[in-house]
Amino acid sequence: MPRQFIRRSVPVLAALLLIAAPLAARNRKSPTEPGTYRDWKDEIDRVEILQPFRLADYDLVVVEPLDGSRTELPDQDDNAYAPIKSVLAHATDPYVSGLAERIGARIEVVEASRGEADSEARKLILRGTIDRLDPGSQAARYWVGFGAGAAKTEISGELFDPASGKVLVKFNQERRSGVGEFGGDYEELMDRNLAQIGGDVAFLLAAF
């Protein structure tokens, strides 16, 4: 190929690349645009954005008690039954702690059961359902390791704007914990999962 042709082609290719780059950027979907996403930002298993919003427009997030009424329970004579029942009774606490720890500097987080500091505050309602609460196997964690016997917790939820009456975002998230002293206490690992999911939800909200 003649050198003169190469010299003339290089500036043309460079110009085409400069034009194509912004077009490609515009065609990439922003993670806060309406739509359904899997592995949202490599952090959340599933996110469905129904209505974009600005977190800065709100004063607080009111967290309703996690709904564990449909969480599957083992038989009452199973050694996991009592720990699961115990965690279901206080599940909202670690969930809110994880949420507040990660986003508390940007927006106040309160539990609905504890009232709201200001009834006139602009607020978002966070609702959640515990779809899975599995303490795993303490023996497998202790003797096998490498992720065996991990405790698993899965929550589905939605963010609701009471002023507009609209659901803004829906999500599903699972967390697993398989490390703890002597295989890890059942309740400790499930609480850890709940706190981590709360932090994940905070990460989701902070993107808006």
* Cβ proximity of 164 and 179 under 8 Å: no
Cα 127 → chain centroid: 12
Over range 136-164, report the average pLDDT. Answer: 74
- Give the pLDDT confidence of 27-51 residue by residue, as tens digits: 355 799 999 999 999 999 999 999 9
Give every CB contact of residue 98 below 8 A, 6+ residues apart in sequence.
Answer: 194, 195, 196, 197, 198, 199, 200, 201, 202
134-145 b/e (C-beta count within 10 Å ≥ 16 → b): bbbbbebbeeee
Q: What is the residue extent of each domain of the chain?
A: 31-206
For the structural domain made of 31-206, what CATH number should be given?
A: 3.40.50
What pLDDT is attached to residue 29? 59
Q: Which amino acid is at 178?
A: G
Residue 199 pLDDT greater than 60, yes or no: yes
pTM over 0.85? The answer is no
